Structure 1
Amino acid sequence: MTRILHILDHSLPMHSGYTFRTRAIMKAQTALGLEVRGLTGPRHTQDGPPVEEADGLLFHRTTGRATGVAGLREWREIGRMAQAIDDLVADWRPDILHAHSPALCGQAALRVARRRGLPMVYEIRAFWEDAAVGNGTSRDSSLKYRLTRQLESHVVAQADAVVTICEGLRADLIARGNAPARITVMPNGVDLALFGQPLPRDGALARELGFEADGAACPVIGFIGSFYDYEGIDILIAAMELLVRYHPNARLLLVGGGPCEAALREQAARSPAASAIRFIGRVPHHEVDRYYALADIMAYPRKKSRLTDLVTPLKPLEAMAQGKLVAASDVGGHRELMTDGVTGKLFAPDSAEACAGALASLLAHREHWADWRAAGRHHVETSHDWAVNARRYLGVYQSLLVPGARIEVGAAA
């Protein structure tokens, strides 16, 4: 049976979009008959044993923490992780190393791949230097930004095969001089076996949150995710002030948390639409479906930036899988996932007026809701179901094996 070692920044039982994509990949590959394990770096910060099972998947940990000034600390981190990979390779003997961004994971995997004569796949989920700019921890003019970008370019050039999650990232890598044939797109997806059966609306929870008026359900706009500035939640809150003028019973449901939470709560408290806005805070992952079930429309007003133009988010796909209408800003990452007027509604980014207009348009055309929901669900089933998309990895892996070798799959394939 072909063995794949996934090399990761962090993993389950930590919860993030990164760990959920990892889970989906590893579960789908297991179902195809591959034998998979994960190894995380020093940035996996949740306490646990050095070898840990989470959701039926096995993860090995890089123990200890790297110290020192910036630059030296990251170099030591790469060295510590490379040693952990090498030890596991000697014991478990994987056929392929599959490293996932950031580039620190890729560089550590490269060291071992060259030392052990193993093929190495490098998968980019986002350019982490752009993500740092997006969440306010770096600037695109900084030395850190340039060094991170250079390391990423080095890992991409040295890897035996490269995978990205979307065409935006692939186009950027090609523009840097990388051969298109080396780069495969493995799009974001949804595990429909876990996330494809929407819960019924919880009437008691809806009443508790004030989502009923005069005995009837209020139209609910939802956002579930992390509260970073680039997500544009401030624009959504500003849009509610305009929306309630025409749809006075409309409500806004905000589930999650993050660096901007305090500022967003203050903005909402000052808004004339304050009584229509509900902050839930962070909720356990197994409870998220209860809140999806309350929403009619999921809104994703991402601001226009290099990050949002290049990277496709996961949340709109989850919303479509849950049978929700989707309104999203017209940035590159959203355009890869949606067709305006078919699987959702796109609106001009960075504009509360445009956001409110899109939401009002959806609310005014209930006769099309069933068609839009069905189109969104069909799009996920045909183009973004992990059970289908994971098969693309087989071609990438097969191309890296020695001539004449074939990927060995078990009875699950």
Structure 2
Amino acid sequence: MRVLLLNDGGTPVGGAELQALRTRDLLRGAGHEVRLLSSGASELGVPSQADAVCFGTTHPKLRVLSQTANPSAALALRRELASFRPDVVHLRMYLTQLSPLVLPLLRGVPTVWQAVYYKAICPRGTKVLPDGSRCAVPAGRACLRNRCVTPQSWVLDMTQQQLRRRWAGSLDAVITLSETMRRRLEENGIPVADVIPNGVRQRPARPPLTGPPTVAFAGRLVPEKGVQVLVDAFAQVAAAVPDARLLVAGDGPGRAALDEQVDRLGLAAQVEVTGHLDRETLERRFDTAWVQAVPGVWEEPLGNVTLEAMMRGTAVVASDLGGPGEVVRHDSTGLLVRPGSVDSLAAALRSLLIDRPRCEELGRRGREIALTSYAEHVTVQRLERLYRSLLPPAADDVRSSA
């Protein structure tokens, strides 16, 4: 089967970009011909690893224009459709670089859109208001009233929404990463055919737990990830478990505020903030963690770090919200806590950091579920079934007999 992947970015930086590249590699490993088309935009100047590249930009003002209408993306897609002649197009992120101009070109080509965040129903992509509360109204004038966007960008944001709706008929199936995402999209008039979460790469189980009781966190240092809640909670934990440690892997605009918070709470000797770590280094460092915290305060579409922790065999303490709240089975593979509650998070962490056998048991169960339900080969098989369901019967018969 020839599969054309479309994604806003093709650099090996950022969860969505890494997932697009990994999906390409996995489908190729399953015997398919696969190409990835992306923009050349990169926040860190890392070159794209896509097979075909169109214009993209990280300049804020230019990006507002190009994500509304990017003629370069449409031209690049037209060339790929003519030369590669894909059997199926797998569209992922397209509303921050490629723009809705790619949609009308997909008419007549079996196309699945895998929604990986909320940009299609929210200009900010989060369905979170500036005060941190969940937005429960459709995109429109409310975005302007709530100061989610500037008056200048609002016009272009609404134009993008209008174009997306106009050409939505080009999509043959929509899938999401979680049931939460399915609900939010369907509340906003986008029917969803299935929920297919990202697969997690299989790896050996971590070694038995030793050393100081350690909490690990991985993610961008931005308010919605809840790291500030975690540090406040850890201050309570450290008072009760003096040898506890907190390992924070990640970087972002909240780094300076996080460092100040750690110093103000007198936790410098117990908290290590590593900055960004590559996957191999992160996994090696996190092998010693008794617990991985996922304290997000927004409805995260899935939360890949949750699945990675489970595959490693690490107990998870997560906010009972969004994708992580669906993946973690309370008191079986981890613990679920009230989103944004310092006390709830502190109590859960404290209960595990004084009970190593319980951490081992929760981690073991989590790994079993990761292997059976979320391993990459499971996701690839589900995608292949979906692709085949979109093919014309004659084409499907030919490929089945090949």
Residue identity matched to 1:241? A
Check 1:156–1:358 CA distance in 2 against 1; reply closer, same or farther (3 A cut).
farther
Q: Deviations over 1:47-104 (max 9, x none)?
A: 688xx7x5xxx62111476998675443442x21010011122222212222112336
C-alpha distance in structure 1 between counterparts of 2:249 and 2:58, whole Å: 34
1:29 aligned partner:
27
Q: Which amino acid aligns with 1:107?
A: P
Match of 2:18 among 17, 20, 33: 20
Identify if the C-alpha distance between structure 1 residues 155 and 341 changes in structure 2 by more than 3 Å, giving closer, same or farther: farther
Q: Which has the higher contact order (CA 8 A, sep 6+)?
A: 1
From the superposition, tell whether residues 151 and 231 of structure 1 become closer, same or farther in structure 2 (CA, over 3 Å). Answer: farther
> Which of 126, 131, 154 is the matching residue for 2:125?
131
Distance of aligned partners of 1:258 and 1:64 in 2 relative to their CA distance in 1, 3 Å threshold: closer
Counterpart of 2:332 in 1: which secondary structure? coil
Identify if the C-alpha distance between structure 1 residues 108 and 200 changes in structure 2 by more than 3 Å, giving closer, same or farther.
Answer: farther
Matches within 5 A, 1:11-410: 11-12=10-11, 14-44=12-42, 54=49, 59-63=51-55, 72-77=65-70, 79-103=71-95, 105=98, 107-114=100-107, 117-128=108-119, 129-131=123-125, 141-142=148-149, 143=154, 146-154=158-166, 156-180=168-192, 183-192=193-202, 196-198=203-205, 217-303=211-297, 305=298, 307-308=299-300, 311-406=301-396
Kept in 2, the 8 Å contact 1:329–1:348? The answer is yes
Structure 1, 324-333 or 400-409: larger mean CA deviation? 400-409
Give the residue type in structure 2 aligned to 1:118. Answer: V
Output the CA distance in 2 between the equivalents of 1:198 and 1:66: 38
SS of match in other structure, 1:274: coil
Structure 2 residue 12 is the aligned partner of structure 1 residue 5: no
CA contact (8 A) 1:156 1:162 kept: no
Quick check: 225-234 or 86-95, which moved more?
86-95
| Aligned-pair CA distance for 1:174 | 2.2
Tell me, in whole angstroms, the C-alpha distance in 2 between the residues paired with 1:252 and 1:45.
28
Question: Deviation of residue 346 (structure 1)?
Answer: 0.8
SS at match of 1:254: strand
Residue matched to 1:209: none
Separation in 2, partners of 1:132, 1:279: 25
Distance 1:380 1:322 in 2: 9
Instruction: Show CA shifts across 1:351-393 (max 9, x none).
Output: 2111110001112333323321111001111111111121112
Change (3 A) 1:245 1:62: same
Amino acid at match of 1:59: D
Per the alignment, do residues 71 and 21 of structure 1 end up closer, same or farther by CA in structure 2, a change over 3 Å counting?
closer
What one-letter code is carried by the residue in structure 1 that aligns with 2:251? G
Unaligned runs of at least 5 residues, structure 1: 203-215
Work out the CA distance in 1 between the residues paired with 2:237 and 2:221: 21
Give the letter for the 1:271 counterpart. Answer: L
Give the Cα separation in 1 of the matches to 2:251 and 2:63: 28
Closer, same or farther: CA 154–365 of 1 in aligned 2, 3 Å: farther
> What do the CA deviations read for 1:88-122 (whole angstroms, capped 9, x no partner)?
222222122221123364623323223xx322221
Distance change in 2, residues 1:72/1:407 (3 Å): farther
**2:125 is paired with a residue of what secondary structure?**
helix
Is there any run of 5+ residues in structure 2 with no aligned partner, and where?
131-142
**Letter of the structure 1 residue corresponding to residue 187 of structure 2:** A
Counterparts in 2 of 1:407 and 1:176: CA distance versus 1, 3 Å: farther
Are the equivalent residues in 1 in contact too, given 2:2–2:33 (CA < 8 A)?
yes
Aligned residues of 2:10 and 2:40 also touching (Cα < 8 A): no
Distance change in 2, residues 1:76/1:109 (3 Å): closer
Contact 1:302 1:328 in 2 (8 A): yes
Q: Deviations along 1:215-267, whole A, 9 cap, x unmatched?
A: x8211111122111111111111112111121000011111100101100011
Judge conservation of contact 1:201–1:290 (CA < 8 Å) in 2: no
- Distance in 2, matches of 1:362 and 1:200, equals 18
CA displacement at 1:322 relative to structure 2: 0.9
Classify the secondary structure of the residue corresponding to 1:197.
Answer: coil
Q: Given that residues 8 and 94 in structure 2 are in contact (C-alpha distance below 8 angstroms), is that contact kept between their aligned partners in structure 1?
A: yes
- The size of the alignment, in residue pairs, is 379
Q: Distance in 2 between matches of 1:381 and 1:223?
A: 22
SS of equivalent to 1:94: coil
Supply the RMSD in Å over aligned alpha carbons. Answer: 3.1
Query: Which residue matches 2:136?
Result: none
**What is the TM-score with the length of structure 1 in the denominator?**
0.82
Would the aligned equivalents of 2:216 and 2:292 in 1 still touch at CA under 8 Å?
A: yes
Partner SS, residue 259 of structure 1: coil
Q: Structure 1 pair 147/108, CA: closer, same or farther in 2 (3 Å)? A: closer
Query: 1:23: Cα distance to partner?
Result: 2.9
Write the distance in 1 (CA, Å) between the matches of 2:211 and 2:263. Answer: 23
TM norm structure 2: 0.84
